[in-house]
């Protein structure tokens, strides 16, 4: 309680300033993180110390030849060493740990997590692990937001806002998607949607995006040269039916992807003998073997790293064989599940984009061959597939829609994207209640809310929820007389102890009955410890009342008429029963959310 009293709640201006700083750090962090990935990638694959690297261009063949399959193995050793010795939270895809800190740890994230996550994820991605960079930068940004909040000793809710601002800013800077970063923070991290929480996140995402554009340029994450031909235009409405089918397929695939990641995690932890080093090395050797064979027989590594080059090929129709796209889709899914499941560090956003692009592209190619008169454009289905996969896997449907449009800068496909995401999300929810983020937390018993409810009960006034069943009793009365009052007035729940007009104590019915058992009947009622209480006005709102009660460690609130607290001014009492009833009545506004576990 003392620790809570020391917290300081800053005004909107200062919170916006803190978010601005967080956005700067998130933007710079995204840049430095990408430089680190580039440095390690060139070192691992070519043995050179250079930061020249474009993820949208295929990695040239390594001089190591077939021995390139051992590159992920070397990276795996470094990843396990960092995670085991410095920050276990850096293992996996990062976002669940941020959610866990917000809902179960009062927004506290160790500063060390940002450093270890940067190094571990850069090692995973740079050495060819099939993971993305957005999860790590979200965790890095949120770790800074939490650290800043701890240094400034802000209240828990403001610390959580800074965490969301850091994560959203990192996502925005990484993909050049300011609105997408905002929606990511809103759908996944923010526990409250209001002006006081949204404005700081907007400040952070806008700032981070600006910083990112200074470093990376103003171009979208993926470029589609043929965008000028408007090949995404829907000339025939029946094509929309095809997107419903794609959404269903992606809902199934999203479920398979989620199950595969945690299935491999269970396999490596519970069934594969050896320690963490052996498990992750084994998984990454298989991944290395997979992309080495791909390069040997198809010319490119394709599934290593973030996989943006392959996505770019699908969008530009450089890859136009449905069978090969389905092959890449399956390999990427398995490679990602192996990388994360065996103990890697990195995000799942980029792999989800890859899976959606290849499956959507293949789907569009097959439809175009079956129904050439419809003028179907495979890249349009690839874009919709990217959004549908992200929405289904992460559960962030709005984020998936907006980020995909921001990453391609083509809004003519907004209707197909929206349909695909909605169907994919709904179908995945039907098959698997948890997203890839919440599944990890549910497995450790930390459940996440499935909806953000409008807390209408917080608006109720003290006069509406108070209990008026109380009576006055003077301080010179004995416990025996108190018991007689209880017998004569069975409805009375509270007793105000007075001395003249001065209020000196508060007793509950339960406290009085307990005293009758433990004390002599001749003792005065002043020997019974009074409940700690606060006084509130009739117009005070419920939320403010319970906050004040918590800060004062009070068991009750006296509702008074006027500004003075005298025995005659008390009109009602709010205790635990009234608080519970008010919250319970507020639940009537919302449907019952059942759990699949």
Q: What is the pLDDT of residue 501?
A: 73
Cα(78)–Cα(354) distance, integer angstroms: 26
pLDDT surpasses 50 at 255: yes
Instruction: Give residue 339's pLDDT band: very low, low, confident or very high (50, 70, 90).
Output: very high
Give the pairing of strands 502-508 and 494-499: antiparallel
Residues 77 and 65 sit within 8 Å (Cβ to Cβ): no
Q: What is the pLDDT of residue 592?
A: 55
What are the CA-CA distances from residue 330 to residues 257, 336, 364, 564 (Å)? 10, 10, 17, 72
Cα(310)–Cα(259) distance, integer angstroms: 24
Contacts of 270 (CB under 8 A, 6+ apart): none
pLDDT surpasses 70 at 227: no
Cα(193)–Cα(187) distance, integer angstroms: 9
The more confidently predicted of residues 148 and 485 is 148
The more confidently predicted of residues 588 and 347 is 347
pLDDT in tens, 76-118: 999 999 999 998 888 887 888 999 998 888 888 888 888 898 9
Longest CA span, the chain? 98
Of 432, 382, 94, which Cα lies nearest the Cα of 256?
432
- Local structure of 377: helix, strand or coil: coil
Cα(394)–Cα(399) distance, integer angstroms: 9
Of 161, 229, 539, which Cα lies nearest the Cα of 410?
229
Instruction: Give residue 348's pLDDT band: very low, low, confident or very high (50, 70, 90).
Output: very high
Q: What is the rounded end-to-end Cα distance, in angstroms, of the chain?
A: 34
| Phi, psi angle pair for 445, to nearest 5° | 85, 10
List strands edge to edge, sheet with 502-508.
470-474, 494-499, 502-508
Of 543, 397, 360, 558, which Cα lies nearest the Cα of 467?
558
Residues 262 and 440 sit within 8 Å (Cβ to Cβ): yes
pTM for the predicted model, two decimal places: 0.85
- What the chain holds in terms of domains, given with CATH numbers, is 2-216 (1.10.3080.10), 232-442 (1.10.3080.10), 456-587 (3.10.580.10)
Average pLDDT over residues 329-340: 96
Average pLDDT over residues 169-180: 91
pLDDT in tens, 286-333: 999 999 999 999 999 999 999 999 999 998 889 889 999 999 999 999
Average pLDDT over residues 366-386: 88
Look up residue 59 and give its DSSP letter. Answer: P
Contacts of 301 (CB under 8 A, 6+ apart): 58, 59, 128, 291, 292, 294, 295
Residues 111 and 139 sit within 8 Å (Cβ to Cβ): no
């Amino acid at each position: 309680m003392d620790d809570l009293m020391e917290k300081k709640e800053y005004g909107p201006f200062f919170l916006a300033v803190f978010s601005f700083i967080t956005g700067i750090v998130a933007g710079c962090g995204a840049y430095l993180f990408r430089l680190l990935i580039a440095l390690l990638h060139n070192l691992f694959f070519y043995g050179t110390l250079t930061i020249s690297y474009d993820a949208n261009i295929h990695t040239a063949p390594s001089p190591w030849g077939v021995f390139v399959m051992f590159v992920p193995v070397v990276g795996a050793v470094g990843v396990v060493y960092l995670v085991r010795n410095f920050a276990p939270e850096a293992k996996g895809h990062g976002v669940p740990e941020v959610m866990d800190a917000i809902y179960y740890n009062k927004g506290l994230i160790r500063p060390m997590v940002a450093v270890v996550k940067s190094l571990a994820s850069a090692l995973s991605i740079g050495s060819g692990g099939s993971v993305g960079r957005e999860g790590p930068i979200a965790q890095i940004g949120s770790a800074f937001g939490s650290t800043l909040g701890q240094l400034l000793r802000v209240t828990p809710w403001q610390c959580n806002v800074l965490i969301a601002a850091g994560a959203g800013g990192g996502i925005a800077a990484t993909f050049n998607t300011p609105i997408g970063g905002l929606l990511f923070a809103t759908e996944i991290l923010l526990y409250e949607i209001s002006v006081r929480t949204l404005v700081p996140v907007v400040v952070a995402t806008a700032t981070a995006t600006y910083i990112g554009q200074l470093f990376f340029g103003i171009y979208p994450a993926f470029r589609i040269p043929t965008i000028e031909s408007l090949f995404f235009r829907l000339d025939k409405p029946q094509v929309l039916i095809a997107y419903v089918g794609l959404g269903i397929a992606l809902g199934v695939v999203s479920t398979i992807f989620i199950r595969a990641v945690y299935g491999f995690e269970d396999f490596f932890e519970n069934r594969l003998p050896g320690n963490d080093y052996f498990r992750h090395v084994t998984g990454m050797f298989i991944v290395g073997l997979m992309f080495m064979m791909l390069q040997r027989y198809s010319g490119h590594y394709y599934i290593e790293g973030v996989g943006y080059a392959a996505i770019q090929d699908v969008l530009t129709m450089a890859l136009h064989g449905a069978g090969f796209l389905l092959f890449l889709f399956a390999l990427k899914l398995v490679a990602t599940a192996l990388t994360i499941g065996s103990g890697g560090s990195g995000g799942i956003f980029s792999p989800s984009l890859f899976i959606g692009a290849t499956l959507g592209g293949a789907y569009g190619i097959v439809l175009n061959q079956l129904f050439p008169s419809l003028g179907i454009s495979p890249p349009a289905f690839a874009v919709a597939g990217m959004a549908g996969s992200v929405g289904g896997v992460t559960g962030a449907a709005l984020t998936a829609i907006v980020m995909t449009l921001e990453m391609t800068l083509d809004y003519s496909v907004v209707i197909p994207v929206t349909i695909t995401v909605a169907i994919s999300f709904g179908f995945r929810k039907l098959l698997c209640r948890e997203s890839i983020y919440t599944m990890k937390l549910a497995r450790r018993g930390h459940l996440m809310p499935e909806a953000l409810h409008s807390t209408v009960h917080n608006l109720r006034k003290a006069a509406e929820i108070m209990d008026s069943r109380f009576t006055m009793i003077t301080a010179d009365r004995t416990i025996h007389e108190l018991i007689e009052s209880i017998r004569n007035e069975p409805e009375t729940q509270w007793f105000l102890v007075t001395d003249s007009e001065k209020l000196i104590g508060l007793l509950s019915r339960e406290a009085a009955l307990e005293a009758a058992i433990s004390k002599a009947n001749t003792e005065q009622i002043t020997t019974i410890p009074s409940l700690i209480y606060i006084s509130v006005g009739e117009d005070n709102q419920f939320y403010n009342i319970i906050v004040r009660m918590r800060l004062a460690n009070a068991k009750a609130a006296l509702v008074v008429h006027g500004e003075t607290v005298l025995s005659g001014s008390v009109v009602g009492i709010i205790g635990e029963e009234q608080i519970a009833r008010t919250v319970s009545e507020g639940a009537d506004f919302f449907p019952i959310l059942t759990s699949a576990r």
